[in-house]
Structure 1
């Protein structure tokens, strides 16, 4: 079941980044593909990690710089997401713009 979830997340990430134009800052099609691969790798790491929610955190990559956005339920989750992104191959820099918003029990 976990492998299916990870494969689904990777596929969704690839589809989400697939609609972007190469002219959004990448110099070549190759760079665009590299950035899409980096973003997919980061999302896959989130999906495999028990502390980070891959569903609440968006990942974008541009020229090896990864930007994280979305919401975390704790500072520890935000920090862990940044650590996972930094440990991903070909990531040069991480901009962690995740907002910490504790979960509410409604």
Structure 2
């Protein structure tokens, strides 16, 4: 009986370690908290762009990974691209903005 309890404790410990390791972030993967934070940043950037009458939010895609925002899609002018980047940079929590917007 004593060995069985020790074995169960060992298995429980392994389970805890495995589940915590699954939540850890790495260079290419986000933790659950980072994913949620990035989702909030993406929403804030989209809202900022949507609130600007000079930009068409449906033409600009926003993705965030570990605080780095990627803007892609099409804009009507270089000024619109610069405006979108500027709005994204002003969002609190954004570490960097990568501009992949294409002027059509």
Aligned to 1:72: 75
State the structure with more CA Rg. 2
Q: Which runs of 5+ in 1 are unaligned?
A: 1-21, 102-106
> May I ask how many residue pairs the two structures share in their alignment?
79
Runs of 4+ in 1 over 6 A off after TM superposition: none
Q: What CA RMSD, in Å, does the superposition of the two structures yield over aligned residues?
A: 1.6
Once residues 86 and 27 of structure 1 are traced to their aligned partners in structure 2, the CA distance between those partners, rounded to angstroms, is 21
- Give the TM-score, by structure 1 length: 0.71
What secondary structure does 1:49 align onto? coil
Give CA deviations for 1:16-36 in whole Å, capped at 9, x if unaligned.
xxxxxx99x443100000001
Paired with 1:77 and 1:53, the residues of 2 have a C-alpha distance of 9
